[in-house]
Structure 1
Amino acid sequence: MTTTTTAPPGTAAPAAGVELSDTNQHYDLPAEVFGLFLDPLRKYSSGLYLSKGDTLEQAQLNKLRFVAGRLQLGGGQRVLDVGCGWGSLTLFVADELGCEVVGVSPAGNQHAYIAGRAAELGLADRVSTVRGHFETVDLGERATGGFDAVTMLGSIVHMPDLDVVFRRARALLRRGGRLYVSESCFRNAAARAAFDAREGTQFVRSAIFGWGDMRPLSDLVRAAEDAGFSIASVDDLTDDYRRTIDDWLVNVDAATDELDAIRPGTAATLRRYLEVANAGWGYTTKHYALVCRRAR
């Protein structure tokens, strides 16, 4: 297991007067916070509920298998996990499928956590991470066509220039390679215009993510196609994300004292964030899984 660090993109401006920081305050919270309300793998994105009786843990395992299937990972491929979080997908495809995986994240404490888990699982020879932003991170000799698959689970919302992101993802893939993007999106351009500046949206930006730009799905598809990708599939996972967040809220309530002992007010901030996220599903927001293929 190796970890390298690259400089962030400095003063890249996603909008007038807005700058990207090295990371955001939410992901810099202690790892213990996420262990208290996420599943045991600490997967921080939508699960996939295949039955009414699925637990949060089972739903997240279902989702990891779903991602591997959409990417047609049969074993041994090279995978780039962009916005790798606490390593749930990185470690899963390395362990279950024998893939060689590189994780990318600007959050320093995530790298230490993944390194520890990789060592515990005997995966240090298959897993490495790079600290930095996807748009500028140095991936060495694999910067051109070095990967069979690229994943972005809930990370593209933090990237200001979709054209740059999709072009780089395509350049990193071999011919026939696949890109998996799952993201929460405004239902359409009209919903974005009406709700992007609302109080709840601004709270999530200021108190949680620092900066983020949720777009309609059509913006992601356009950028993917303009970069030269072919669209392989689009899945609507909105109901699954609603249920995932409901399960997270139950865990937040059960762990309120422990969360606030780590940092006072953490439970209330998490609850408000998750309630805002769950309020607009199907009305203002949707959650999609978009799979793109480098056909040539």
Structure 2
Amino acid sequence: MADAAHRILDLAEHALSTSFPLRVRAWDGSEAGPSGPPVLVIRRRRALRRLLWRPGELGLVRAWVAGDLDIEGDLYTALDHLSGLFWDRGERDPSATAVPATTAETLRRARGILRDPATYRLIRSALTLAGPGLPPSPPPEEVRRRSGIAHTKRRDKDAIAHHYDVGNDFYETVLGPSMVYSCAVFPEPDTTLEQAQYAKLDLVCRKLQLREGQRLLDVGCGWGSMVLHAVKHYGVRATGITLSTEQAAYARKRVAEAGLTDRIEIRVQDYRDVADGPYDAISSIGMAEHVGSERYLEYARTLYGLLRPGGRLLNHQIARRPLADEETYRIDEFIDRYVFPDGELAPVGSTVSWLEQAGFEARDMEALREHYARTLRAWVRNLEAGWDKAVAVTSPGRARVWRLYMAASAVSFERNRIGVNQVLAVRTAADGLSDLPPTRTAWLS
């Protein structure tokens, strides 16, 4: 089987009906395809069995997480080329797929394919290449299929635990000293990640017009960076809530070390259970992606009810591009199975609409798409530099998940496939007064 790479390339190009954009190196040492890096390295025949039993993205991801295949050369370039298999062929979003076919329809399609002699020969070749054996088990890092209603309190807590309770040492390696897991803001080309995260936190505080003595609620407080910044630099009293027990323990330790336990409270609490309003301001930074479209209006109304009249919400959230037919939207399998179970992205227009339906007045929207691409590339560099530690405190598969997820996300932001936006909304008082300065420049100074 000294020509495995050529046979794999033939199979791929027949299945895709287009040329394959990467050079391929197979387990037998053979190579085929465009010259030069990046190279798709197929280390084991098992990778093909994964693809045969689960064609498409999920099969590829399982092979990547298990170490059955790898990329040699620039990972971003490789992912950009591979994503072009979707985008350059007219699909609006690789996660937007048709409604799954019924079993009968699938069988009819399969019979049609097998009647084509050329396709039948290719399938036989694929089975020969893949070798005998049952479908390989998914890597242990994969979340199994969930049942029941999405975005219940119990299911949301489990989803958060999968993503965040993988060890604070791991996140220290990836995020650096700031421990901020959301888009940074880079004012200058030479701004460091730490400086950029400081700039983002300060931007949020200035948009919220925080003043000494006010009450701030930080929804999805992570490791406590936002509440610490707001209390230290703006003199507020802050409450941070998270569903992650590991995040809460870490945040409480930071608060105690800063001597601020009398001004900051960290709770393991669902946003739906907060009942100690009113607050003067609410920050929600990188949390609303977990809410889900069916629950979003409830989320917006809950936060509205927790604010005093004139109070402000800063909602910082990743957004997807709108589709021509919203009924075709499907959550990306890789993200759902390995990264953010039950996570959903909505267009920014939908987010603003939900906030206004809840009673908010949307006063400002700032897009930070390019900044998130830079942030993700910085996190990938941190992960690669601390690879041995990241593997030791989690697993090789978990580290590979995060490297792929962050690099692919960086490409998506760079190519304008997804964005990230800060929306400033106000619970405007009954008399129409918002307590905002007259110009945007004034309330950012």
Q: Same fold (TM over 0.5)?
A: yes
Give the corresponding residue for 2:410: 278
Give the corresponding residue for 2:30: none
Give the corresponding residue for 2:280: 148
Give the corresponding residue for 1:216: 347
1:81, distance to aligned residue in structure 2 (A): 0.3
What is the CA–CA distance in structure 2 between the aligned matches of 1:64 and 1:12, rounded to whole Å?
37
Paired residues of 2:176 and 2:382 also in contact (CA < 8 A): no
State whether structure 2 residue 314 is matched by structure 1 residue 183: no
Give the direction of change, closer, same or farther, for the CA distance of 1:54–1:12 in structure 2 (3 Å limit). farther
Paired residues of 2:321 and 2:418 also in contact (CA < 8 A): yes
What is the CA–CA distance in structure 2 between the aligned matches of 1:284 and 1:268, rounded to whole Å?
23
Give the corresponding residue for 1:43: 180
What is the CA–CA distance in structure 2 between the aligned matches of 1:14 and 1:190, rounded to whole Å?
25
What is the CA–CA distance in structure 1 between the aligned matches of 2:375 and 2:325, rounded to whole Å?
23
Give the direction of change, closer, same or farther, for the CA distance of 1:270–1:191 in structure 2 (3 Å limit). farther
1:75, distance to aligned residue in structure 2 (A): 2.5
Question: What SS does structure 1 have at the residue aligned with 2:371?
Answer: helix
What is the CA–CA distance in structure 2 between the aligned matches of 1:162 and 1:285, rounded to whole Å?
19
1:264, distance to aligned residue in structure 2 (A): 1.8
What is the CA–CA distance in structure 2 between the aligned matches of 1:138 and 1:27, rounded to whole Å?
21
Q: Which amino acid aligns with 1:156?
A: A
Give the corresponding residue for 2:307: 173
What is the CA–CA distance in structure 2 between the aligned matches of 1:20 and 1:127, rounded to whole Å?
25
Taking the TM superposition and a 5 Å limit, the aligned residue runs for 1:243-254 are 243-254=374-385
Q: Tell me, which stretches of 5 or more residues in structure 1 are unaligned?
A: 1-10
| Larger-gyration structure (1/2) | 2
Give the direction of change, closer, same or farther, for the CA distance of 1:195–1:247 in structure 2 (3 Å limit). farther
Paired residues of 2:167 and 2:394 also in contact (CA < 8 A): no
State whether structure 2 residue 386 is matched by structure 1 residue 261: no
Moved over 4 A (4+): 191-195
Q: CA RMSD in A?
A: 2.1
Question: What SS does structure 2 have at the residue aligned with 1:273?
Answer: helix
Paired residues of 1:82 and 1:150 also in contact (CA < 8 A): yes
Give the direction of change, closer, same or farther, for the CA distance of 1:217–1:42 in structure 2 (3 Å limit). same
Q: Which amino acid aligns with 1:272?
A: L
What is the CA–CA distance in structure 2 between the aligned matches of 1:191 and 1:37, rounded to whole Å?
37
Give the direction of change, closer, same or farther, for the CA distance of 1:254–1:191 in structure 2 (3 Å limit). farther
1:134, distance to aligned residue in structure 2 (A): 0.9
What is the CA–CA distance in structure 2 between the aligned matches of 1:262 and 1:77, rounded to whole Å?
39
TM-score (norm 1): 0.88
Paired residues of 1:151 and 1:180 also in contact (CA < 8 A): yes
1:29, distance to aligned residue in structure 2 (A): 1.1
Give the corresponding residue for 1:98: 235
**2:192 maps to which of 55, 72, 79:** 55
Structure 1 residues 22-66: Cα deviation after superposition (integer angstroms, max 9, x where no partner): 433110111111101113120000000000010000000000110
Give the corresponding residue for 2:150: 14
Q: Which amino acid aligns with 2:427?
A: R
Give the direction of change, closer, same or farther, for the CA distance of 1:191–1:64 in structure 2 (3 Å limit). farther
1:193, distance to aligned residue in structure 2 (A): 6.2
**Larger fraction in helix:** 2
State whether structure 2 residue 198 is matched by structure 1 residue 66: no
Q: Which amino acid aligns with 1:147?
A: Y
Give the corresponding residue for 2:333: 202
Q: Which amino acid aligns with 2:342?
A: W
Question: What SS does structure 2 have at the residue aligned with 1:81?
Answer: strand
Give the corresponding residue for 1:3: none
Paired residues of 2:157 and 2:243 also in contact (CA < 8 A): no
What is the CA–CA distance in structure 1 between the aligned matches of 2:148 and 2:312, rounded to whole Å?
27
TM-score (norm 2): 0.59
1:19, distance to aligned residue in structure 2 (A): 4.5
State whether structure 2 residue 178 is matched by structure 1 residue 30: no
**Larger fraction in strand:** 1
Question: What SS does structure 2 have at the residue aligned with 1:269?
Answer: helix
Structure 1 residues 83-121: Cα deviation after superposition (integer angstroms, max 9, x where no partner): 000111011111111211111111011111111111110
1:20, distance to aligned residue in structure 2 (A): 3.3
State whether structure 2 residue 214 is matched by structure 1 residue 82: no
What is the CA–CA distance in structure 2 between the aligned matches of 1:78 and 1:291, rounded to whole Å?
17
Paired residues of 1:24 and 1:208 also in contact (CA < 8 A): no
Give the direction of change, closer, same or farther, for the CA distance of 1:115–1:20 in structure 2 (3 Å limit). closer
Give the direction of change, closer, same or farther, for the CA distance of 1:251–1:166 in structure 2 (3 Å limit). same
Moved more, 224-233 or 202-211: 202-211
What is the CA–CA distance in structure 1 between the aligned matches of 2:327 and 2:416, rounded to whole Å?
14
Q: Which amino acid aligns with 1:91?
A: L
Question: What SS does structure 2 have at the residue aligned with 1:274?
Answer: helix
What is the CA–CA distance in structure 2 between the aligned matches of 1:190 and 1:237, rounded to whole Å?
24
What is the CA–CA distance in structure 2 between the aligned matches of 1:193 and 1:184, rounded to whole Å?
20
